[in-house]
Structure 1
């Protein structure tokens, strides 16, 4: 019997390297309702991976051993009895936990969605692209002409958010770190860029955009969350799409007036975004992203650092978590 490789969580530990091992798994024929997909590329979610390794994700209960990874694209190699919606040779994407960091994924056909090709672009749009679209439209509920601030704007999620916001007719304030990333987000259409390495975000917003943010989409937390919430406009919406700053030390304990005092007199709101709880929005998001791409208003950018093979996932996670990447970090499987 042949085997394939996967990255499997074997124990809880502080880092993914300590917690997960590359293992060989026996292949099998797909059962009724299942398909077998040979994964070509996987997408990296480094912060999530590390938190899973630490058993620190409250909404995902894992018991080692369990396969890691979420996002992948590949080609259907075999279909089980009763499967009619997919055929051998179809390019498909999967965004379910446990299906990403492995060379082969044998799972129910409903786990997969058809994509144009098993390439990086399809991977990014089917996973991170959908997340960005849902965060922006379903949760942020941005309107054309509004001002939208985006943290980590040069990252996998952020660079799609910038383009989706511009395509929707919004003014975009992109927050990122360093001149290279600033130039990148400008090339995507950002109207203003705040380089947090050159100037505190709070200072820049208070000077140039006081109480002007109709929508803020934040994946960082900490001082950036505070700066966004301080500068919300009337009826402004702050979307919490992550808290990367709290990854190492746990939730920061802050002594400050309750957030209600910032929100009440502006009729503003803070909204949590968790893509896995918003699956009803995914089909419409996919369709709109495809239309934007066809119209030349959206491009999916992969980080240009090369990672290949399941064993390279460790390095890819470290690279993403270093804060140096631009675009989506991917691994060729």
Structure 2
């Protein structure tokens, strides 16, 4: 079933060469509007999500054999405007999806990966990538249990906000790191028991003094010195989940200092502690059920979804495909709260 009055061409943001310097390598490319094939739908994107890993993708770290120009972006919320054979979706259906090349005004998507939504709403977008990363990793890798103490780094970000709330829903005591007093207030509003502004407080000393028995689970996204502090603070049987290492994304540096790597076995062994990696694509079978659970919790008022569309950003608000670069840079400024989202309807 094909929709009528589709544009003759579409626009998408592509990277022309491998580099973490996003602004320097991306450009808008125009090409003919594609027609959905068997099991495919054409989605008109309305909201796209910005992630720290966007520059890992364009730098070729996820796929060293990637061919350029390379489509960019991981996730979007939009509306089906045309559908191919053997799909249950009809034009007008709101959907969310996670697929490379989401930074485009229209996108061909396999129907079996599209998630139906009640309506086209930006607040759903944090759940599919950021939220699934938080919920699945804490459950499946962190083995989270009621009554445990959980430390979330970059807790006011797109995935951190869901991790905080997921741990609270599990009945845990939650500590969250952040970089401003506005973020401290935000973390308190979503239930974080002990927000720590590392710009004004010494996290290492706070953990030693206030949590002498150590931390049961660490949700770690920063790397560098933060990783070292987290390893030092693990409790007996503690688990540190590596979600990312954002400090090294732009610089290309390693996930942890060399001194930490050299002493890691000696620091973990006496505590029977562990460091565990998490990469969302390795848990694809869990993606659908966890998105559904988050949407359910959101509709029931048990889960908040904070989004940042650049209203307070120097180059905001983020409206239109041209503003994606500004949104990526805003993420790395560490001034955003919640999930950074770009509204592709620039006419509003």
Normalised to the residue count of structure 2, the TM-score between the two structures is 0.90
Displacement of 1:49 in angstroms is: 2.0
Unpaired runs of 5+ residues, structure 2, are 1-6, 311-316
CA RMSD of the aligned region, Å? Answer: 1.6
The alignment partner of 2:118 has SS state of coil
Question: Could you say which residue in structure 2 is the equivalent of 1:222?
Answer: 224
Question: Could you say which residue in structure 2 is the equivalent of 1:42?
Answer: 48
Tell me the distance in 2 between the aligned counterparts of 1:202 and 1:324: 23
Query: Structure 1: which 4+ aligned runs deviate by more than 6 Å?
Result: none
Question: Could you say which residue in structure 1 is the equivalent of 2:80?
Answer: 76
Q: Residues 123 and 58 of structure 1: is their aligned pair in 2 closer, same or farther, counting only changes over 3 Å? A: closer
Q: Residues 268 and 13 of structure 1: is their aligned pair in 2 closer, same or farther, counting only changes over 3 Å? A: closer
Is the 2:309–2:343 contact (alpha carbons within 8 Å) kept by the matching residues of 1? no
Tell me the distance in 2 between the aligned counterparts of 1:300 and 1:183: 15
Question: Could you say which residue in structure 2 is the equivalent of 1:28?
Answer: 34
- Aligned pairs for 1:1-333 (under 5 A) are 2-45=8-51, 47-55=52-60, 57-59=61-63, 61-83=65-87, 85-98=88-101, 100-247=102-249, 248-251=251-254, 253-256=257-260, 257-305=262-310, 306-333=317-344
Tell me the distance in 2 between the aligned counterparts of 1:212 and 1:295: 34
Tell me the distance in 1 between the aligned counterparts of 2:119 and 2:299: 15
Is the 2:57–2:63 contact (alpha carbons within 8 Å) kept by the matching residues of 1? no
The alignment partner of 1:24 has SS state of strand
Is the 1:213–1:233 contact (alpha carbons within 8 Å) kept by the matching residues of 2? yes
Tell me the distance in 1 between the aligned counterparts of 2:295 and 2:331: 26
Deviations 1:37-69 (A, max 9, x none): 101100001x322233332x1456421012100
Is the 1:92–1:113 contact (alpha carbons within 8 Å) kept by the matching residues of 2? yes
Is the 1:138–1:281 contact (alpha carbons within 8 Å) kept by the matching residues of 2? no
Q: Which moved more, 1:275-284 or 1:244-253?
A: 244-253
Is the 1:211–1:230 contact (alpha carbons within 8 Å) kept by the matching residues of 2? no
Is the 1:202–1:223 contact (alpha carbons within 8 Å) kept by the matching residues of 2? no
The alignment partner of 1:190 has SS state of coil
Unpaired runs of 5+ residues, structure 1, are none
Normalised to the residue count of structure 1, the TM-score between the two structures is 0.94
Deviations 1:73-99 (A, max 9, x none): 11111111122x32221111111222x
